[in-house]
Amino acid sequence: MASIFSRIVSGEIPAAKVYEDDLTLAFMDIAPASRGHTLVICKTEYPQLLDLPPDVVAAMAQTVQRVARALMATLQPDGFNVLQNNGAAAGQTVFHYHVHIIPRWQDDKALGLWQPGESDPATLPELAAQIRANLQ
């Protein structure tokens, strides 16, 4: 079954479109974290970041930047978050790759930030080496 975002791309479900090109679509979130909260999706249904071909990754990044600039110029927020979740454990609920652009104003409490943890500096080089070994 097609995702809700694929149904938006096909026109089956309406959306307040902000931007569209051959590979991407940006539209207003119907359950926004803040005023101006916009979603950017790839038109082809890929579940998550690791599934995207390089040209779609590039197109998504360009659209996110373009829309973020427009949001900043229009709403003049104090900042913005770019949020993207991969997998249910990370909070992904629609398994069609998408990026949230959330305008932020000082003390708006739109999103909670994580609490920084602690690391053992002696273990970081070994972990970095393990990750490097898996780079493709």
Is 98 annotated as catalytic? yes
Residue 41 neighbours by CB under 8 Å, 6+ apart = 5, 8, 9, 24, 25, 26, 27, 96, 97, 98, 99
* 126 in a structural domain: no
Domain containing residue 95 = 4-112
* Cα–Cα distance measured from residue 72 to residue 123, given in angstroms and rounded to the nearest whole number: 40
Catalytic pick among 37, 96, 98, 100: 98
Contact status, residue 133 vs residue 111, Cβ threshold 8 Å: no
Query: 19, 33, 135, 45: which is closest to 91 by C-alpha?
Result: 33
* 128 in a structural domain: no
* 125 in a structural domain: no
* Cα–Cα distance measured from residue 118 to residue 13, given in angstroms and rounded to the nearest whole number: 45
Residue 10: which H helix or E strand, with range?
helix 4-10
Q: What is the DSSP letter of 50?
A: G
In the chain, the number of structural domains is 1
* 35 in a structural domain: yes
* 119 in a structural domain: no
**Mean pLDDT rounded to a whole number for the chain:** 96
* 121 in a structural domain: no
Domain of residue 65, CATH code:
3.30.428.10
* 27 in a structural domain: yes
* 136 in a structural domain: no
Residue 118 neighbours by CB under 8 Å, 6+ apart = none
Residue 101: predicted pLDDT: 98
16-72 residue pLDDT tens: 999 999 999 999 999 999 999 999 999 999 999 999 999 999 999 999 999 999 999
